[in-house]
Amino acid sequence: MARTTGSDGIRTEEAIRHAAVELIAARGFEAMTMRQLAEKVGVQPGSIYRYFPSKGRLLLDLLVEHLEFLVSRWETEQPRDADPRARLRAFVDFHIRSHTLRRREAFVANMELRSLAPADYRRVVALRRRYEDILTGILRAGVEADCFRVPDARVATFAVLAMLTGVGSWYRETGRLGKRELIEIHTQLVMQCVGAQ
């Protein structure tokens, strides 16, 4: 069969992305095979190569797309003129929402950096750095405005991000805690952590 009626390129590409994120999240990038991916999508392995020139490039695309989504979405959503406390609250809310909504993408973006080719790695780390810098900026502003008390803004950035990102690895939509409660709990933990007055 040359083409299944109704299928088309964009749909197939989207299906590949989606299936890839699921498989990589579940087994890891190296452990996922193109055969498994193809089977999940419902195409032949060779067909994937119409959309992604290599397995490595597929991973790169996934990570870049996710990180660009994070950065650009925050640009839109952020309460630009609020005080550091409100901005930190907004950040926690934003981070947890995006890391539960796109849980698998976030997980993959955190776990699979080392599976990238060196040049790709540098590119993605630079992108991730831009996201980290958002939080560092908020913390520094808060320290200067005397409303946060952290010993080292950079270390605190890593600490808070690790804390928040970790949620994605154990959160289940059907679990004990809803998304709302999760956000409340982590807002409190983070605000205490940075010594918010």
Partner DNA sequence: TATGAATGAGAATTCATTCAT
Partner DNA sequence: CATGAATGAATTCTCATTCAT
Do residues 150 and 191 touch, judged by C-beta distance below 8 A? no
Do residues 15 and 37 touch, judged by C-beta distance below 8 A? no
For residue 44, the surrounding DSSP H or E stretch is none
Q: Which of 28, 53, 79, 166 binds DNA (CB under 7 A)?
A: 53
CB of 76 to its own copies, least distance (A): 27
Closest CA to 124 of 135, 114, 133: 114
Judged by CB under 7 A, does residue 27 bind DNA?
no
Judged by CB under 7 A, does residue 50 bind DNA?
yes
The item of its own copies, DNA, none sharing an interface with residue 50, based on CB under 5 to 8 Å by kind, is DNA
CB of 6 to its own copies, least distance (A): 20
Contact set with its own copies (CB under 8 A): 26-28, 30-31, 111, 114-115, 149-152, 155-156, 158-163, 165-167, 170, 177, 182, 184-186, 188-190, 192-195
Which residue lies nearer to its own copies by CB, 67 or 196?
Answer: 196
Helices (H), the chain: 9-27, 34-41, 45-48, 55-77, 84-101, 103-111, 118-144, 153-170, 179-193
Q: Which of 9, 118, 151, 175 binds DNA (CB under 7 A)?
A: 9
| Total residues belonging to the chain | 197
What string of DSSP letters covers 125-174? HHHHHHHHHHHHHHHHHHHHTTS---S-HHHHHHHHHHHHHHHHHH--TT
Which residue lies nearer to its own copies by CB, 36 or 78?
Answer: 36
Which residue lies nearer to its own copies by CB, 174 or 192?
Answer: 192
Which residue lies nearer to DNA by CB, 7 or 197?
Answer: 7
Given the rule CB under 7 A, which residues bind DNA? Answer: 1-5, 7-9, 11-12, 32-35, 42-47, 49-50, 53-56
